[in-house]
Structure 1
Amino acid sequence: MAHPPLVSVIVPNYNYATVLRLCLRALTEQTHPALEVIVVDDCSTDDSVAVARSFPDVTVLRTPTNSGPSTARNIGAEAARGEILMFVDSDVALAPDAVATALAVLDSDPRIGAVCGNYDTVPLVRDSLVKDYRNLYRHWYFKIAEGSITGFLSTAILAIPARIWAEVGPWNPRLDQSEGADVGERLTDRYEVRMTSSVIGRHDDDANLRIAVYKVFTRTRVHIPFFLNRRRVVGVVTSAESGTGLASWLAAATAPLPLLFGAAWAVLPALLLLVWLASDGRMYRYVWRIRGLPYTAFFAAMHLLVNLTIGVGVAAGLVQWACSRRFRRLYDQEAVTA
């Protein structure tokens, strides 16, 4: 009987000691028997290293300086011995069958070069409505993308054969918010990438509204050169966190019209908001079905804030792209392999 392939699980970490313990405990409970777990700590200032070392079968590496998750993942990939690499963020606790299921998907079709997993609808630590919204929305976003995907990768749960990673890696060390777009483009040019909710984990997203909004803004802004340098201008609007933001941006832009020209003009932003809500009607029905009406109203308000933040991020990114040659070259290949 053939031996099961060794899977190297690479966990980049920075100051996530509490949830890192949950992440590593979940890896000890995987049904796949041949597992190598590598934690790459990015110079944490909490007790993350002690937490990782408390698991006797975990290899603990450290970055020389605080350098971001891309550098940490690259260090882990270089040290890995497995036939399969599985990148798992330190704030994700995989379901017990996640590794085994990812391998089964890879084995199901030789054209599949990587498998992306999904988040559970419930956060790993359920202590914030903001966190709850972020997890549920991302679950939905990945759920409707199930099947073959192009371009963007979900980097939090990603399984890929080591031989393929040798072709498409490494992670761009200059990117810490949009590295999935960079690797995803190289990967999907050569192989099929499968998104599936059968590979799932609970995720501890941002509980703080300010931090969550800032991340949305930053991720949107840094995607601008990725799209514009590839002449995919439509992607600026349709990617990032949502594909339906334009109507909400127009509603915000026209909101002052009633103050300037009279109450009758309130119809225009109201209609635009209705268009925005209707464009994601399937998502809101899903949320209503599993969480009820009051939560759905909160979810819609959060989603509006996120969409408006994306609009600001697009504007800031366009300005930066026009003014900064360095920003325009953010995704240049030579920066990745240098």
Structure 2
Amino acid sequence: MIIPNYNSARTLELCLRSVFAQTLPAHEVVVSDDASTDDSPGIAARHPCQVVRAERNGGVSAARNAGVAASSGEILFFLDADQALAPDALENAVRLLREDPGLGCVHGIIAPEPLIDDGVVEWYRTLHAHHWRRRGVGRTPTAFFAAAAMPRAVFDEVGPFDEALRDSEDVEYSERLSARHGILLTDRVVARHDEEHQLLPMLGEQFRRAQLLIPFAAAHRGRPGALRANSGLGVAAALLTAGTAPLLLLAPLLPALAVPPLLGLAVFAASDPGLLRFVRERRGTGFLVPFLACHLLVNVQIALGAAAGWARGLVQRDFGVPTARLHGRAG
């Protein structure tokens, strides 16, 4: 079990408790600390695990690689420090890998309840993440290493995580991995996640990650099983709604001006009916309004981020190209 950690004192205790409560005990637990400045290394030291400490912050890829180097197990289970596993997660992951030798990675889904309840934004993030991952269960071209298992032999073959990447390192690694081995997203591996609970940081994160959407979509065009968190129609409708919303100020003078934003909002709400049914079942009808408000803002950021990424691609020929490919390594 390899747990990359950076300033995760808030969640690391819950994470480690879940690790040591597994129905299949881990052969070893390595907490790979990425130069934390909080008490999280001390929290890890109170548990029967090995703590590896970096002298400087290198990002999650560097922490995962350091954890692998310090471990010896034949199966590597990566678990982010802000997640807590269901008791049978490790056992199920190991069983799935052993049942299908063609699999290079098994990764899990987010539970529909947050690890720590911090309000509306966190519930939005948790419910949305659970829904789209559960919908995508099966063979996929992408792995998310927040809760994922893979044979050490596969890791050695594919190579380490790209330490030049601070975002979307999962996507880059998956491109190398899926070229050689199968990837399975399963609902038999479940983890509760402490999602971002503040609106502005969440929107900033969405904008930043969305900049890689266009190069990623180009690289995966036509590949079956691609995971999609949001529908293209929903993103377009959200942008239409936001872009025409100022017309509502003039609608009392000319009611027809209200049509574009209201039409955009209606299309946006109808773009993923399964998601809204799921939210209503989990949190009630009253939660649909704040959920849709958060979802609308996120989709606007995705559209703006994708546009910014497209513009960057025009002036930076190598924008979005994995470092491994730039340097001629496996990809």
Q: Which TM-score applies when normalising by structure 2?
A: 0.90
In structure 1, what is the Cα distance between the partners aligned to 2:122 and 2:327? 34
Q: How does 1:177-192 map to 2 (within 5 A)?
A: 177-192=167-182
2:235–2:300 CA contact under 8 A, matched in 1: yes
Note if contact 2:105-2:143 (Cα within 8 Å) is conserved in structure 1. no
Matched to 2:128, the amino acid is Y
Cα-to-partner distance string for 1:171-204 (whole Å, 9 max, x where unaligned): 1112222111111122222222111121111111
Moved more, 326-335 or 263-272: 326-335
On the 8 A contact 1:170/1:336 being kept in 2, the answer is no
Q: Answer whether contact 1:226 1:331 (CA < 8 A) is retained.
A: no
How far 1:225 moved relative to its partner? Answer: 3.6
Deviation at 1:122, TM superposition (A): 0.8
User: Number of aligned pairs?
Assistant: 324
Give the corresponding residue for 1:263: 255
Cα 1:231–1:113 shift into 2, 3 Å: closer
User: Which residue number corresponds to residue 152 of structure 2?
Assistant: 162
1:88 aligned to which of 61, 75, 79? 79
- Does the aligned pair in 2 maintain the 1:172–1:335 contact within 8 Å? no
TM-superposed deviation, 1:290 = 1.7
Pairing 1:175–2:165 present: yes
Counterpart among 237, 242, 254 of residue 230 in structure 2 = 242
Greater mean alpha carbon deviation, residues 80-89 or residues 29-38: 29-38
Structure 1 residue runs of 5 or longer lacking an equivalent are 1-8
SS of the residue aligned with 2:130? Answer: helix
Deviation at residue 326 of structure 1 after TM alignment: 5.3
Task: Evaluate the alpha carbon distance shift between residue 178 and residue 191 of structure 1 in structure 2; reply closer, same or farther with a 3 A threshold.
Answer: same
Distance in 1 (CA, whole Å) between partners of 2:328 and 2:151 is 20
Q: Pairwise mapping of residues 298-337 of structure 1 onto structure 2 (< 5 A)?
A: 298-325=290-317, 327-334=319-326
Alignment CA distance shift 1:223-1:239 (3 Å): farther
Matched AA of 1:293 = T
Structure 1 residues 29 and 218, CA gap change in structure 2 (3 angstroms): same
Q: Tell me the amino acid that sits aligned with residue 154 of structure 1.
A: F
RMSD: 2.4
Quote the sequence identity (%): 40
Structure 1 letter corresponding to 2:13: R
One-letter amino acid of the counterpart of residue 194, structure 1: L
Corresponding letter in the other structure for 1:105: L
Partner of 1:297: 289
Is the CA contact 1:168–1:186 (under 8 Å) kept in the aligned structure 2? yes
Secondary structure at the aligned position of 1:141 is classed as: helix
Indicate the SS of the match to 2:211.
Answer: helix
- The whole-number CA distance in structure 1 between the counterparts of 2:69 and 2:57 is 18
What one-letter code is carried by the residue in structure 1 that aligns with 2:94? L
1:203 partner amino acid: H
**In the TM superposition, what is the alpha-carbon distance from 1:33 to its structure 2 partner?**
2.8
Is 1:41 matched with 2:33? yes
Residue 143 (structure 1) aligned with residue 143 (structure 2): no
TM-score by length of 1: 0.88
- List alignment gaps of at least 5 residues for structure 2: none
